[in-house]
Chain A
């Protein structure tokens, strides 16, 4: 039992570290990809190819003067970025990062906990994330911050509905709410994307909206709201907000891959005849490869598509994505009934 607990603690710390490191280098990647897509060079001064840039940024953030406005609500002002960071890090535990491996006769899983309501947990934590932005915007006592927070919360609430609806079709198909189980079902044959292309599209669009990324970065659009909900923030509190966005991006990429692209599975994995532990290592590498592709896709979209107008955003969320996801549920049900999966 103690061995199990120690293993779990090690795994949690490892996942926490990995998500921080990936988010750290996602900031570098974002700047580099933005530069490449715009025919620029990007950061190239700190270390070879600028790979030490994230650390330079981190040191800069920590050593900057920290300002809490006089009229701000002191406690809430500090709690805001804490919640944003906390919720961003919390979702990592239910994602299956790889298969199982055997060490000294005991089988260990690379998923911290395979709770049977994994998807519900995911949604609970993700919707909790909006509190970080809302509290931050409210506590700043600044009109721009408040408007940014308002936009962020209404946007997140609107898109969460469509997101949940698109997942319902997936849950109907797989018959489980556990992430580990969903990934295991994609073990052989086709990944869920083949059966749920529309659901994937809706989920992807909603994931962009949930992570506050372009083209749905209404909450922090510099051109309209100065900085949005983090206008008044400085130093590492601002850093946490920005950093949470990158962790969210990493986690949503992992979730998208687990839901629709087979998680850690890859084609013909059992035909290779690899031993269990080696297979698990390769699976984890493949999983991260898929995640990195989606992180790249997030950035690729950001530097391609201009921001939506606020009314267009609401129209898209309520009038297009919500009916589409409902139709997706009906179609999924119909197909399942016709193929005799339900009666």
Chain B
């Protein structure tokens, strides 16, 4: 009685028209018939796409810097942060003459994200100290086999001539926030050691 929505069950005998079933069936048929003229709300996916937010967390991208060198240094913080353990990587040392390819002395020779494991939470992006990994508003394609869902560097690193804009996700505010939180974490770690 608290919600005032309780219904009293009545066990009265059904009237003749109710026992005949036919009026009820006719009204049911009219209801389903009306649905013939209703608009179908389906979005026919591959041809039609739903509008998604510009800060949507979809397929990842590994960014390059202004000169076209990869930003990732294979520090492994994204893999540590990943709650689904979707990220693996191998580190390698930069050789002489590769300065244009990799920004710092260490880089990721293998970088793999398993898109079936990934939950698109964006923690890798938050963990990254080099602004290298970002989630984009692209949707991960469907594949026929499980192995093809493991995206390597060939799919993740952005092409030099086709840069991917992440300014929507990497605003001044987020950079500021990242700096402050990094500072706090370092302070905490230092304090703990003492």
Contacts and interface: CB of A to CB of B under 8 A. Distances in A.
Contact of A36 (B25, B35, B41): B35
Contacts, number: 29
The dominant DSSP class at the B interface is helix
Interface string A37-68: 11111001000000000000000000000000
B9 interface: no
Contact of A39 (B28, B33, B41, B44): B41
Nearest to B33: A300
A37 B35 CA distance: 5
A63 to B, nearest CB: 18
Contact of A37 (B25, B32, B39, B44): B32
Contact of A41 (B32, B38, B40): B40
A124 interface: no
A105 B29 CA distance: 49
Interface in B37-58: 38-42, 44
Interface in B19-33: 25, 28-29, 31-33
Contacts of B35: 36-39
Contacts of B31: 304
Contacts of B32: 37, 300, 303-304
B36 A36 contact: yes
The dominant DSSP class at the A interface is loop
A13 interface: no
A301 B44 CA distance: 28
Interface in A10-53: 36-41, 44
A305 interface: yes
B28 A44 contact: no
A36 B40 CA distance: 8
B28 A305 contact: yes
B29 A39 contact: no
B25 to A, nearest CB: 6
Output the residue of A37, A40, A44 with the most chain B CB within 10 A.
A37
Interface in A159-211: none
Contacts of A44: 44
A222 B33 CA distance: 25
B135 to A, nearest CB: 31
Contacts of A38: 35
Nearest to B22: A201
Nearest to A303: B32
A39 B31 CA distance: 12
A300 B30 CA distance: 10
A313 to B, nearest CB: 13
Contacts of B25: 304-305
Given A36-B35, A37-B35, A39-B35, A304 B40 contact: no
B29 A304 contact: yes
A36 B29 CA distance: 14
A113 to B, nearest CB: 37
Output the residue of A44, A300, A303, A304 with the most chain B CB within 10 A.
A304
Contacts of B28: 304-305
A41 B29 contact: no
B40 A301 contact: no
Contacts of A40: 40, 42
A36 B39 CA distance: 9
B36 A37 contact: yes
Contact of A300 (B29, B39, B41, B42): B29
A321 to B, nearest CB: 12
B42 A41 contact: yes
Interface of B: 25, 28-29, 31-33, 35-36, 38-42, 44
28 contacts: A36-B35, A37-B32, A37-B35, A37-B36, A38-B35, A39-B35, A39-B38, A39-B39, A39-B40, A39-B41, A40-B40, A40-B42, A41-B40, A41-B42, A41-B44, A44-B44, A300-B29, A300-B32, A300-B33, A301-B29, A303-B32, A304-B25, A304-B28, A304-B29, A304-B31, A304-B32, A305-B25, A305-B28
The 8 A-B residue pairs with the shortest CB-CB distance, nearest first, are: A304-B32, A41-B42, A37-B32, A304-B28, A37-B35, A304-B29, A39-B38, A36-B36
